[in-house]
Structure 1
Amino acid sequence: MAKSHSSSRAPAPAGFWKESRKGFLAALTTSFILLQILFLGNMCYLYATQYQDSSRFHNLNLLYVDYDGGVVGQSVLDAYGIMRGDSFPSLQQSPATNYPDPSDVRRAVCSGDYWGAIYTKSGASSNLSSAFATGSGDRNSLAYVWNGARYPAFAQSAIYSNLIALVQVTRSAFYSRNASDVMSTAPLSTNPESLQAFLDPIKATEVNIKVTEQGTRVLYNTVSMVMPIIQQFFFMMALNGISSQFQLLTKLSPTANGLLRMCISFAYTFFGSLCMVGYIWAFRESWAVNSNQFALCWMIIWLYMHINFLIVDILTSFVSLRFMPFCILTWVIMNVASTISPFELNPGFFRWGYALPAHEVYQVLVQVWSDGCENQLYRALPILFSWWIAGIVFVVIAMRHRCQTAVAAEEAAAAAKKKEKDILQTNLSRGSSTQDIIPWDRQDTVEASHTEQAAYGPSYHTPFVRE
C-alpha cells in the first residue's frame, strides 16, 4: 500500500517549535506592526486631505459682475450677505468695465481665475418691472457660469449647487427689498401673467463650459490615476522574471540591457495609455469630446505611464523586496491624494502635491477636456518633464547597478559550486572515514541566491510560458 504524502514527510526535530517560537513570533509581530502602520499612515494621509473640506469652500472664488445696476443686482449682493460663510464660495464683485461683455465673464472662468461666475443681465430690473406691469417682460435676469469638467464631483457640489442656492436666495432678497412696491403698483389681481411673474420673479440661465455628466466622471481623478502606477509595477515584475529566466543582465552589456528595457518601456506604455484612453472614450456616453482630444489625452497619459515605469524600475533596482509594499503603496496614495480634490479644499500642507506627476497630468487632462480652458501647461509640463528626465538619468544608474549585482551573483554562484565540487572530491578521496569528511556550508549558495534575487527582483515568471 502506498504511503500517504503526510506520512512520508520527515517529522520535525524534537524541540523545533520551542527553539523557533521566539524568532517566529518576533518576525510575525514586526510584520504585523509595520503593515498596520503602513496602511494606517497612508489612509490617514488620504483622509486628511478631505478633512472638513466643506469649511474651506470660501477658498473657491466666484466672479460677480452687475450689468444691470438696479434692484436685481443689489438683490444678488443681499443674497450673498445672507449666505456668506466658510461653507460658501467667496463672491468677488468686479466692475462691468473690467468685463465689458458676458463672454469676458465666461473667459475668466475658462482661464481658471475663478471657479464660477454669476452676472446680472443688462436691463434685468427694467425687464422685470415690465413683466410685473404687463406679464410679458423677460424674467431671465441672471446667468451663471461654471466648468463641469474641472473636478466634476466637487464642482457640482461646491460650485453648481451653491450658484443655484444663490439664485434662490436672490429671489427671496428681491422680495424683501421690492415686494411691497410691486404689490402696490402691479395689476396682480387682474393679470394672471403679472401674478405669475411676481411669484417667480427671477430666473437664471446656466452656462456650463463643458458638460460632464457621465457616471464615469468620478473615476477620472481617482482610480484612473492609480491604475497606471499599479500597471507598471506588475509589468516590471514580469519583465524582471523574464530577464531572470534568460539571464539577460549577465548575457548582455549594461548599455544593451538599458536600450532593450527602454524600448520595451516605450512600447508597453504606448499601448497601455492607448487602452486607458480607449476605455475612457468607450464609456463617455454623451460627453462631447473628439478625436483630437483623444490623441492629446493619449500623449499625456503615455508620458504619465512612462514616468511611473521609470520610477518603478528605479525602486525595484535599489529597494529590497521586503520594503517594496511600503514604497509602491505610499507612492500610489500620495499621487491620488493630489488629484482627488482641489487644493483649495485641502489643508495647506498638502499643496506640496503640485510637484507630483499625477496632479499635473490631471490638470492637463482637464484643459484638454475643456477645449483649452484651465490652462496649466506653464507649470504642468516643466514638472512632468523634470520627472521624466530625472527618471531617465537615474534609470541608467539603476540598470548599471542591476547588471553589476547580477554579475556578482553569477560569480558567487560559480564560486559556491566550485567549492562544493572541491569538497565533494576531497571527501571521496578520503574514503569512507567519517572523521575526515569536510562538512559543506550552504551559506555561500544562499548568499549567491539572495544576490541574484536583488538583481532580478521583485519578479514572477510569466503564466502559460514554459520555462
Structure 2
Amino acid sequence: MLRQALHRPLRPFRSNHDADTEETGTNSNNTDHTVENGKSHEEGEKTPVGFWDPSLKHVRKRAISKWIVTTLVLMTFILGVLSIYWGVFFRVETRLKHLLVYVVDFDGVAPYDTGNPPLVGPAIVQLTEKMVQSGQPTLGFGTRLPSEFNNDPLQVRQAVYDWDAWAAIIINPNATAMLYSAIATGNASYDPLGACQLVYQDARDDTNWSNFMSPIISMLMTEAQSTVGTLWAQNILQNASNPTTLANIQAVPQALNPAIGFSHFNLRPMYPYTTLPAVSIGLIYLIIISFFSFSFYMPIHMQYLNPKDHPPLKFHQLIIWRWCTTVLAYIFLSLAYSLISLAFQVNFSHMNPVASETQVTNMAYDNPIAYGRGTFLVYWALNFWGMVALGLACENVAMVVGQPWMGMWLIFWVITNVSTSFYDIEIAPGFYHWGYAWPLHSVVEASRQILFDLHSRIGLDFGILIAWGAVNTTLFPICCWFQRWKTQRNVHEYWPMD
C-alpha cells in the first residue's frame, strides 16, 4: 500500500471554490459553443416560406417592379429594332419603279431600216409605256433611243453589266423585216426568239430578280407576244387569199404563231447554288463569330490583371495586347470561314472560258471568278476586313454596355446589317440609305463581285470596311478605359440583386 501511494501522481491542491468555478466555466463554454452552433445552423438553413409570406413583402415588390420595367424595355426594343427589318418591305410595290429596265427599239431604225413599216418594236414600246402610265405598281421601264448606244445592241448589254440598269429589253434590228421575209419566202429556219432579247444578271441580286422583276417581266413578255401576234396575224390574213402566201404560212407556222419570242441572256447567272450562303445568309454567321469572340477571349486577357502570382500588366500595354490578339484572331477565324466555301467546292481557281462582259458565262465551268487563282486570297481578305469592321464594333459596345445588353446589341447589329445588305436599298424607304455605309452591305456586294465577276466597286467596298476598322480602333482604348472605370467603381450594368 505504501509503495502504491508513493508511485501515485501528485495532484495540485484545489479548493472547493476553484472546483466550482472550473465546472461552471466549462459548462459556460459548452453553452456558448452550443449557442453559436445553433445560430450558425439557423442562419445557414432558413426555413422556406410561401410566396405570400409577410417576410417576403419587400422582395415581392422589388421583383415585380423590376420584372415590369424589364418587360417594357424588351417590348420597346422589339418594336423599335425589329421594325427596321419589317420596314424594308413596307409598300415596296410603290418603289419598284426604281428598278430601271431599259427598253431599246432597234426595229426599223437606221441603219437597219428595210422599207417595211416596223410593227414589233413600236408595239412593245407602246406596251411598256402603257404599263408605266397605268399607275399600277410596275418596274421602271424606260425607253431609250438606239443612238444612245451607238446603234449597237451589245452596248445595251454593257450598260446592264455596268449596273446602269437592272435589265434591258432589246427589240432586235429588222425584227419586223424578218417576219415579212419569212412569210414572203417560206423560210422554215425562221426563229421567233431572234426578234427580241431580255438581258439581265441575277447574280447581282437574285432576290430582286426572282421576287420582284422576273414575275413582272414574264407577264410583259407574254402580253407582248399576244399583242404582236394579234397585230401580225391581222396583217397577214389580209393577204391570205394569195396561194403563195398560204403555202408559205404552212411552211413557216412559227412566223404566224407565236411570231416573236424573247431570247434570255443572263450575263452572270447565280450558279452553282452552293455560292448562295457565301453571298447571303451565311454572312450572318460572320457577324455572330465576330461578336462571340469577345466572350471567348476576354478571360484570357484578364489573366494579366489578376495578380495572384505576378504583378498586373500596365494598362496601356494590356490595350495593345488586346487589340493585336483580337485582330490576329480575326485573321484565322476569317480563314476558317472562307475555307467552308472552298470545302463545298465553290470555284476559286479556274476561269470561265467566256470572259466578255456582254456574253453569258458558261455554267458548266461554275461561277466565273474575277481574279483567277488569286480569287481565294481576295475573298479571304474581304472576310477578314469584314470581321474587323463588324467585330471591333462589337468589342467596343460590349465593353461599354456589358451584360445582358450585349445580346440586344447583337440583335440590333444583325438586323441593321441584314436589312441593308440582303435586300436592295433602291427599293427600300429613303430612311435606309445609311445602309450604304454599313459593313455587311460592302461585304455582300464585294463577295458577289469576286465570285461572279460582276461590275466592280471593290475599292469602295474595301474602303468602307477599312474605315470602320480605323474608327473602332480609335475608340478601342477609350472603351477599355471606360470598362476599367466601371469595374473600379462597381458600376451595375443591370439590376443590382440586393
Structure 2 length-normalised TM: 0.74
Of 338, 348, 351, the residue aligned with 1:277 is 338
In the alignment, which residue of structure 2 is the partner of 1:141?
195
In the alignment, which residue of structure 2 is the partner of 1:268?
329
In the alignment, which residue of structure 2 is the partner of 1:130?
181
Partner Cα separation in structure 1 for residue 441 and residue 183 of structure 2: 51
**Pair 1:60–1:312, CA change in 2 (3 A):** same
Q: Is the 1:60–1:115 Cα contact (8 Å) retained in structure 2?
A: yes
Q: Which amino acid aligns with 2:324?
A: C
**Pair 1:278–1:87, CA change in 2 (3 A):** farther
Query: Secondary structure at the residue paired with 1:332?
Result: helix
Which protein has greater RCO, CA pairs closer than 8 Å, 6+ apart?
1
**Pair 1:109–1:47, CA change in 2 (3 A):** same
Is 1:380 equivalent to 2:461 in the alignment? yes
Q: Is the 1:146–1:208 Cα contact (8 Å) retained in structure 2?
A: yes
Q: Is the 1:304–1:361 Cα contact (8 Å) retained in structure 2?
A: yes
Q: Is the 1:78–1:170 Cα contact (8 Å) retained in structure 2?
A: no
**Pair 1:321–1:127, CA change in 2 (3 A):** same
Question: 1:331-410 to 2 correspondence within 5 Å?
Answer: 331-373=413-455, 375-377=456-458, 379-402=460-483, 408=488
Partner Cα separation in structure 1 for residue 141 and residue 387 of structure 2: 39
**Pair 1:147–1:46, CA change in 2 (3 A):** same
Q: Is the 2:183–2:249 Cα contact (8 Å) retained in structure 1?
A: no
Instruction: Work out which of the two has the higher radius of gyration on C-alpha atoms and give 1 or 2.
Output: 2
**Pair 1:18–1:222, CA change in 2 (3 A):** farther
- Ranges in structure 2 where 5+ consecutive residues have no aligned partner: 1-43, 109-117, 348-362
Is 1:237 equivalent to 2:311 in the alignment? no
Partner Cα separation in structure 1 for residue 82 and residue 438 of structure 2: 18
Query: Secondary structure at the residue paired with 1:149?
Result: coil
In the alignment, which residue of structure 1 is the partner of 2:9?
none
Shift, 1:125, TM fit = 1.4
Partner Cα separation in structure 1 for residue 321 and residue 92 of structure 2: 47
In the alignment, which residue of structure 1 is the partner of 2:398?
316
**Pair 1:191–1:320, CA change in 2 (3 A):** closer
Of 239, 262, 267, the residue aligned with 1:209 is 267
Q: Is the 1:189–1:195 Cα contact (8 Å) retained in structure 2?
A: no
Partner Cα separation in structure 1 for residue 248 and residue 183 of structure 2: 12
Structure 1 length-normalised TM: 0.78
Q: Which amino acid aligns with 2:339?
A: G
Query: Secondary structure at the residue paired with 1:199?
Result: coil
Is 1:50 equivalent to 2:78 in the alignment? no
Shift, 1:293, TM fit = 3.2
**Pair 1:75–1:220, CA change in 2 (3 A):** farther
Partner Cα separation in structure 2 for residue 16 and residue 238 of structure 1: 42
Partner Cα separation in structure 1 for residue 453 and residue 238 of structure 2: 50
Partner Cα separation in structure 2 for residue 190 and residue 15 of structure 1: 102
CA RMSD of aligned residues (A): 2.8
Q: Is the 1:141–1:203 Cα contact (8 Å) retained in structure 2?
A: yes
In the alignment, which residue of structure 2 is the partner of 1:462?
none
Q: Is the 1:63–1:92 Cα contact (8 Å) retained in structure 2?
A: yes
Q: Is the 1:56–1:345 Cα contact (8 Å) retained in structure 2?
A: yes
* Farther off after superposition, 264-273 or 43-52: 264-273
Shift, 1:23, TM fit = 0.2
Shift, 1:115, TM fit = 0.5
Partner Cα separation in structure 1 for residue 123 and residue 447 of structure 2: 38
Q: Which amino acid aligns with 2:68?
A: T
Q: Is the 1:188–1:195 Cα contact (8 Å) retained in structure 2?
A: no
Question: 1:280-319 to 2 correspondence within 5 Å?
Answer: 280-281=341-342, 282=344, 284=346, 287-290=366-369, 291-319=373-401
* Farther off after superposition, 88-97 or 250-259: 250-259
Q: Is the 2:272–2:367 Cα contact (8 Å) retained in structure 1?
A: no
Q: Deviations over 1:294-331 (max 9, x none)?
A: 33222112111111221111112222324323322212
Of 145, 150, 169, the residue aligned with 1:95 is 145
Q: Is the 2:169–2:197 Cα contact (8 Å) retained in structure 1?
A: yes
Partner Cα separation in structure 2 for residue 36 and residue 46 of structure 1: 16
* Farther off after superposition, 311-320 or 79-88: 79-88
Of 8, 24, 27, the residue aligned with 2:66 is 27
Q: Which amino acid aligns with 2:432?
A: F
**Pair 1:220–1:58, CA change in 2 (3 A):** farther
Query: Secondary structure at the residue paired with 1:73?
Result: helix
